[in-house]
Amino acid sequence: MARRPRARKRNAPRAKKRRNRSPHYSPFSTWWNQVNAAISFSLRRLWYNPISTWITLAAIAIALSLPAALHLMVKNMQTLTDDNQQIPTISVFLKQHISTDQAKDRGELISELSEVVTVLFVSKENALNKFKRLSGFAETLETLEENPLPHALVVTPNLRIMNDTKLTNLIRTLKSYPEVDAVQSDNEWMQRLRAIMDIAERVILVVSVLLALTVLLVVGNTIRLDIENRKEEIDVARFIGATRSYIRQPFIFGGLWYGFFGGILSLVIVHFSIFFLIAPTNRLSTLYGTQFNISGLDFSTSFYILIASGLLGIVGAWIAVTSHLRRREITF
Amino acid sequence: MIEFKQISKKYPTGQLALYNVNLTLQKGEMAFLTGHSGAGKSTLLRLIAGLEQPSDGTLMIEKTDVGKLKTKQIPLYRRRIGMIFQDHHLLADRSVFDNVALPLRITGLHHRDIRRRVHAALDKVSLLNKEKQNPMMLSAGEKQRVGIARAVVNKPKIILADEPTGNLDPELAQDIMYTFKQFNDLGATILVASHDHHLIEHMRKRIIVLQKVNV
């Protein structure tokens, strides 16, 4: 019983010292506490202003989804012209009077050319049967006295050594044979489509830059309005010792959230759009007798869109808050 | 602690607010600043708070030449000073707790320490039971005490008050002055600008009278 008061007395100064000690923080923990506060504050601002938040996010999402959708469209069309997936062939139509043996002989000679990989002989009978099957005019074609179609050779060029000049030379060589009536290359329309794709890619680049500027303006204007609403708070904070970076932080995070969540919303819009296009695209490709599967945004593209949208949000917010801090002095 | 050496302040509009002021306040001193309207009381306090730069002369605060502070150093300097205004400048969309916590959040304290210090500051001004209230719901005297709590929560060595009792009835004004005296007793240097002569004389502290500059 006698010991207790003595023990309390001995510990009392230490306890008092502990109570009065002001906390010491490393620069990192100070910065981290400020960042934590800015993150939670900026998220709360978004959460408690749902109408303005959703309007801003929708504007950003639409602006971002347009270039993303155009990019996707071009990417899907590029699969049609992709040499690795669809090998271009040359159709060589022989003259009407050329016999089957003559046609096969010419086919063998062509297959010996170094620029050629394979030659497929399509007899006029096979061609007619296929035409009857695909065209739907079978009954009409039955009434013909003789087969109007010629024998044909389907030539597959060697793509490893082939370029546009060599392909043109090969077509010229094929045309020069006496048995040959006409030569048609699948590559021509692909080259045209590829040229259109090149233009489309540039259009997308221009549209992307313009819409990125739109995102900057939308975020910048939203943050500017937020700054206007919080002018007094900024003044008070500056007056009691807030640095410029401390004042910037919640606005920069606000811009980041607008950009990032706007990016997520744009991905949702793009994927929903693809979902609506799958059925009609499949129907169209069936009508053309091909199989074409529309592909969506892959993981890396989605990731880049989110990074880009987040960065645009940060830059927009940075411009708005920095211009405000440069302009305005404490007014009280 | 606070030393004015031939300080003059001229605003860009050409108005001369202070001319050739020489003044010294010792560490732990409490003083009242008085004078007619336009004599430069607020300007003098704003110079100490780092809100204005002197046009001429040297202003030393705890061995810091305020006139030579770089832009980046000013926010850190301001954290060393607590200032109270007549119209409080409290944030209407925050609770009393959040208003008082603002200087500590700016300093980057952990929320545990913020809670502890805010409670201590509110306790000193007898407003601990109002921490969750909106400042707009408080009386003028209570608002002023919230302003005082915000000014002292960072434990500044210098406390400045610009007409802190201007809107208060005499009884509340005296309460506020006694609150300042308590902080002075704890070692803070306090400078209060006021034109309430009766109240100032009642406090029996040093009185500095500023004369209006006639140019």
State the ipTM, two decimals: 0.85
pLDDT-derived band of residue A267, with 50, 70 and 90 as boundaries? very high
Q: Are residues A58 and A164 in the same domain?
A: no
DSSP string, B62-84: TTEEGGG--TTTHHHHHTTEEEE
Residue A213 lies in a domain: yes
As a whole number, the mean pLDDT across chain A is 83
B105 contacts chain A (CB < 8 A): yes
Q: Are residues A252 and A269 in the same domain?
A: yes
pLDDT-derived band of residue A11, with 50, 70 and 90 as boundaries? very low
B113 contacts chain A (CB < 8 A): yes
Domain that holds residue A165: 90-185
Q: Are residues A196 and A314 in the same domain?
A: yes
| Domain total in chain A | 2
Q: Which residues of B touch A33 (CB under 8 A)?
A: 108-111
Q: Are residues A247 and A172 in the same domain?
A: no
Mean pLDDT of B182-211: 91
Q: What is the DSSP letter of A161?
A: S
B44 has pLDDT over 70: yes
C-alpha distances (whole Å) from A182 to each of A116, A178, A205 are 18, 11, 41
Q: Quick one: pLDDT at residue A18?
A: 44
CATH of the domain at A97: 3.30.70.3040
Q: Which two tokens stand for residue B112?
A: 């545990």
Distant-in-sequence, close-in-space partners of A34: CB < 8 Å, separation ≥ 6: A246, A249, B105, B106, B108
CA-angle at A272, arms to A69 and A221, nearest 5°: 60
3 state SS of B31? strand
Q: Quick one: pLDDT at residue A81?
A: 60
Please answer whether residues A294 and A232 qualify as being in contact, where contact means their C-beta atoms are separated by less than 8 angstroms: no
- End-of-domain residue from the set A185, A207, A239: A185
Q: Quick one: pLDDT at residue A39?
A: 94
Residue A217 lies in a domain: yes
Q: Are residues A257 and A311 in the same domain?
A: yes
A15 has pLDDT over 60: no
3 state SS of B196? coil
Q: Kindly determine whether residue A240 and residue B110, on different chains, have CB atoms separated by under 8 Å.
A: no
Separation of alpha carbons B13 and A13, rounded Å? 57
A10 has pLDDT over 50: no
A87 has pLDDT over 70: no
Q: Kindly determine whether residue B91 and residue A233, on different chains, have CB atoms separated by under 8 Å.
A: yes
Poorest-pLDDT segment among A127-141, A238-252, B92-106: A127-141
Pick from B79, B96, B46, B62: nearest CA to B151: B79
Separation of alpha carbons B177 and A62, rounded Å? 59
Q: What is the DSSP letter of B137?
A: G
pLDDT-derived band of residue A161, with 50, 70 and 90 as boundaries? low
Q: Are residues A132 and A227 in the same domain?
A: no
- The residue of A19, A240, A248, A325 whose CB has the most chain B CBs within 10 angstroms, and thus the best one to mutate to test that interface, is A240
Percent of chain B with pLDDT over 70: 99
Name the residue of chain B whose CA is nearest to A35's CA: B108
Q: Are residues A138 and A215 in the same domain?
A: no
Q: Are residues A181 and A197 in the same domain?
A: no
More confident residue, A1 or A289: A289
- End-of-domain residue from the set A168, A185, A202: A185
pLDDT-derived band of residue B215, with 50, 70 and 90 as boundaries? low
pLDDT-derived band of residue A8, with 50, 70 and 90 as boundaries? very low
pLDDT-derived band of residue A83, with 50, 70 and 90 as boundaries? very low
**Number of Cβ within a 10 Å radius of residue B103:** 29
Pick from A105, A106, A110, A99: nearest CA to A151: A99
Mean pLDDT of B103-123: 93
B187 contacts chain A (CB < 8 A): no
Poorest-pLDDT segment among A55-59, A253-257, A270-274, A284-288: A284-288
Residue A160 lies in a domain: yes
Q: Which residues of B touch A244 (CB under 8 A)?
A: 75
A1 has pLDDT over 60: no
Q: Kindly determine whether residue B105 and residue A332, on different chains, have CB atoms separated by under 8 Å.
A: no
Q: Are residues A206 and A320 in the same domain?
A: yes
Q: Are residues A152 and A226 in the same domain?
A: no
